[in-house]
Structure 1
């Protein structure tokens, strides 16, 4: 998960890096645009992204918030454009790979998510759905990135709380309510105390 803003001068290189990362197998990349930068035109900022970043700050040990912040598997945060450090953090996270959540679509256009059996040892885990945009280019007309044409990848437009999960195998029926420009959605099952992503899956349109 990357926390970013159109108004952040250091974020375009991190946007480009995210575009490369999401091409790799086994990686789910989300760009959550915070709303505390002053962007008045075509803003991608969302209050829920700021809240989610603040929650990570608490779970990761009262870290100060910044952009571009990349959080790997809910456990490690680092500067989002430092490619070598990001790659190393991802390699380390792969050693403790999150379980896959397979998803299939039915005739209605809804999706069935097969939650895998997991021993969560009583940990409080909650399932979240993040609906994100398809990649799109946007010209910046104000702020630190004035005049730049930036490609944005997997911009999160909505995050829904799908409730707790106790690790039991189950089928969850999901309607992502795709809108114009939607690129797909991701499901993440996340430890509410440590932030660890224990299971995840995605659907791309």
Structure 2
């Protein structure tokens, strides 16, 4: 009886871990071929809606590179639209032979928070989340374009303005302004590295050269208790202004819904 329980537990753990990374039926070559040959269709509107596209990914997950490439493709093809891209590299894949240089437990905890907000049974990579309200798996281009189009036609209920400047060697000074303060809301500031290339030496993506965009290097939350204020965030050690940007968004800490967003380049 005891051995049966042990075996059942091991099988359950194995299944649960396998769900951490979706293994899609198409091959990596087929997926990248599709991404290169098909143009993403995103419907736009005049309602000034926005889409915050968050991707949870990892260099240690073999199903993640197509999602990373899809994010990059979408960014290229939707310039000048109200779409904001954030790629979080989680750390729970680091134990399998390759430590993602951009990974952080902070981002794993954020994904866990989404698991609670969205009532999900498991965490997995790659995972897209739109405006904190809807999620779906990795490279699903059709769903991604549809959910973004849906978000863009929604009229926002509040707004956010950001300005920023680097006043010293250690920090970035930020001024924000919004037209409304909602209960249980935080202003989050993501410090984003625009792109990077990584050569993977071990793990599931061994031998691959991966191109990343919109890499969140740090995420700082501030309780939103006034409509206008000044803030500071720590400057990354490898900071170079033209290669970075800040993306701010107001998020309900009870539901996960994002109600406003803004971006500022650090030139």
Which stretch of the first structure deviates more once superposed, 52-61 or 135-144? 135-144
Contact 1:110 1:176 in 2 (8 A): no
Q: Distance in 2 between matches of 1:5 and 1:106?
A: 31
1:131 to 176, 186, 191: 191
**Which runs of 5 or more structure 1 residues have no equivalent in the other structure?**
none
**Partner residue of 1:8?**
61
2:163 to 81, 100, 104: 104
Contact 1:131 1:176 in 2 (8 A): no
Q: Distance in 1 between matches of 2:116 and 2:258?
A: 16
Deviation at 1:175, TM superposition (A): 4.1
Contact 1:11 1:67 in 2 (8 A): yes
Deviation at 1:81, TM superposition (A): 1.0
Q: Distance in 2 between matches of 1:71 and 1:65?
A: 12
Deviation at 1:36, TM superposition (A): 0.6
Deviation at 1:134, TM superposition (A): 2.4
Q: Distance in 2 between matches of 1:187 and 1:146?
A: 34
TM norm structure 2: 0.68
Q: Please show how residues 137-176 of structure 1 align to structure 2 within 5 Å.
A: 137-162=197-222, 164-166=223-225, 169-176=227-234
Distance verdict in 2 for CA 1:28–1:97, change over 3 Å: farther
**Which runs of 5 or more structure 2 residues have no equivalent in the other structure?**
1-53
Distance verdict in 2 for CA 1:156–1:107, change over 3 Å: closer
Q: Distance in 2 between matches of 1:10 and 1:29?
A: 19
Contact 2:181 2:227 in 1 (8 A): no
Distance verdict in 2 for CA 1:111–1:157, change over 3 Å: same
Residue 83 (structure 1) aligned with residue 141 (structure 2):
yes
**Partner residue of 2:176?**
113
For residue 143 of structure 1, give the secondary structure of its aligned residue in structure 2: coil
- Select the structure with the greater relative contact order (CA < 8 A; seq sep ≥ 6): 1
Residue 28 (structure 1) aligned with residue 84 (structure 2):
yes
- Work out which of the two has the higher radius of gyration on C-alpha atoms and give 1 or 2: 2
Number of residues of Structure 1 aligned to a counterpart in Structure 2: 200
**Partner residue of 1:66?**
124
From the two aligned structures, give the one with the greater helix fraction: 2
Contact 2:159 2:179 in 1 (8 A): no
**Partner residue of 1:190?**
251
CA RMSD of aligned residues (A): 2.1
TM norm structure 1: 0.87
Deviation at 1:55, TM superposition (A): 0.5
Contact 1:134 1:184 in 2 (8 A): yes
After superposition, the C-alpha distances for 1:137-179 in whole angstroms (9 at most, x for unaligned) are 11111111111111011111111122x225x531333345244
Q: Distance in 2 between matches of 1:189 and 1:21?
A: 23
